[in-house]
């Protein structure tokens, strides 16, 4: 946004400067100088981004930057009479043409990029489908009346996005309707936020994957003892673009890819796809923690970054969200990637020759299945303890199974 404004400012000063130049050359030259200086920054930015996205060579970025600066310098010299008129015309037209092409190319690339399907673990619109107060919700329901009754001191529930359908079903079964609609009792802060809330006392029970080392240290340093009750199992899955012919990946290949040892699809027997775009997740997320456990001490390569707006016209970097490029590789939990994302443009890979289907999770043949937990504080309330016992019982398991997960036997 800031660079777009500078472009407008530059054009305005150029127009006013040309008009003023006829009557007062000095004033006109000053205005044209301001316009030229304002023009340099967006020109450098868009040309820099354009060459980075399309060519990826640092040398071209440097050369393009030098061209813009030299063109601006020649324009300034011409404005103040140090050069004849011909260079200013040539350089002005060239600089504008280059920057317009870079701007249009950059915007076109971003538009195309945004059109690619994403697999993100923070899509709030997906939560609506499983909200207990949504009449058309997909939330699982019990076959018989709920055996647990509560009329006060309702535990505050939070957790990972992928597990929201599970604990939303718990709330729908146990809580009165007015409590189900209260965000104070049912919310989704994602894995990192949920761990922070259980430690701070803002949540009574959270539903998440196993914690990262940092999350455990945070609880210990806060003097809070957490209790982890496994309530279900889920497959940790890897996926690619549906047009990618690759079908099976081994655990060793996963480690080689995410450590940076393997970075081309040709190393996996797939030709024509170039480099592997191996996406990661934000540190502390449930799936990123699962990847770290799978790596078993092997250091991870630096995750890909993407530029996003910081809200005030600035550009900040974050871990890139999975984009369904033809050469992309991503990971998540099975239920989230298949039931919630519902994208027929990705396909799940077999791992060590075993498909990540529910039957293989239940019989233990799929090699990377993880438990997920109901996490409580040791000093939990009486109703939190009652709810936990109910979840561990037959009706809790029924809702876990109906939601699409595998309950702990």
| pLDDT above 60: residue 1 | no
Q: Give the predicted TM-score (pTM) of the model.
A: 0.64
**Strand ranges in 204-319 using DSSP code E only, listed in sequence order:** 205-209, 226-241, 248-249, 277-278, 305-309, 315-319
Give the pLDDT of residue 316: 38
Burial 25-61 (b: 16+ CB within 10 A, else e): eeebbbbbbbbbebbbebbbbbbbbbbbeeeeeeebb
Cα 408 from Cα 345, distance rounded (Å): 31
Quick: pLDDT tens for 232-253: 988 889 988 888 999 999 999 9
Both tokens of 241, joined, read: 């673009």
Quick: pLDDT tens for 39-96: 766 666 666 555 555 544 455 556 666 666 766 676 666 667 655 555 455 555 555 6
Task: Give me the residue label for tokens 């799940």.
Answer: 348
Nearest to 367 by CA among 214, 250, 256, 195: 250
pLDDT > 70: percent of the chain: 68
Kindly report the backbone phi and psi dihedral angles of residue 351, in degrees, each rounded to the nearest multiple of 5, phi listed first.
Answer: -120, 125
More confident residue, 139 or 342: 139
More confident residue, 339 or 269: 269
Sign, CA dihedral 174-180-184-190, equals: positive
């Amino acid at each position: 946004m800031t660079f777009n404004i500078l472009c407008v400012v530059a054009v305005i000063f150029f127009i006013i400067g040309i008009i003023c130049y006829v009557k007062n050359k000095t004033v006109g030259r000053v205005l044209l100088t301001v316009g030229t200086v304002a023009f340099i920054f967006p020109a450098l930015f868009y040309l820099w981004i354009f060459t980075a996205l399309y060519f990826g060579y640092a040398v071209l970025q440097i050369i393009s930057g030098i061209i813009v600066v030299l063109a601006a310098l020649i324009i300034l010299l011409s404005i103040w009479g140090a050069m004849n008129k011909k260079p200013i015309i040539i350089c002005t037209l060239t600089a504008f043409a280059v920057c317009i092409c870079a701007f249009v190319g950059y915007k076109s690339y971003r538009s195309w990029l945004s059109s690619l399907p994403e697999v993100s673990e923070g899509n709030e619109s997906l939560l609506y489908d499983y909200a207990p107060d949504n009449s058309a919700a997909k939330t699982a329901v019990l076959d018989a009346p709920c055996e647990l009754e509560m009329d006060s001191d309702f535990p505050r529930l939070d957790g990972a996005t992928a597990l929201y359908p599970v604990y939303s079903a718990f709330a729908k079964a146990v809580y009165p309707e007015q409590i189900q609609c209260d965000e104070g009792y049912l919310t989704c802060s994602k894995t990192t936020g949920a761990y922070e809330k259980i430690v701070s006392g803002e949540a009574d029970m959270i539903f998440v994957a196993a914690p990262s080392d940092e999350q455990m240290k945070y609880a210990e340093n806060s003097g809070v003892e957490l209790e982890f009750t496994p309530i279900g199992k889920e497959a940790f899955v890897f996926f690619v673009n549906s047009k990618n012919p690759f079908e099976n990946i081994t655990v060793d290949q996963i480690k080689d890819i995410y450590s940076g040892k393997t970075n081309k699809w040709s190393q996996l027997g797939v030709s024509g796809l170039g480099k592997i775009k191996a996406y990661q997740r934000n540190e502390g997320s449930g799936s990123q923690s699962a990847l770290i456990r799978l790596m078993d001490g092997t250091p991870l390569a630096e995750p890909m970054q993407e530029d996003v707006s910081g809200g005030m016209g600035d550009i900040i970097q974050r871990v890139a969200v999975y984009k369904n490029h033809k050469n992309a590789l991503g990971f998540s939990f099975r239920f989230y990637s298949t039931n919630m994302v519902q994208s027929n443009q990705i396909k799940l890979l077999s791992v060590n020759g075993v498909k990540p289907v529910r039957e293989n999770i239940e019989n233990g043949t799929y090699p990377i299945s993880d438990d997920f937990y109901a996490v409580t504080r040791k000093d939990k309330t009486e109703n939190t303890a009652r709810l936990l016992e109910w979840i561990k019982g037959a009706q809790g398991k029924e809702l876990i199974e109906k939601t699409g997960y595998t309950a702990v036997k």
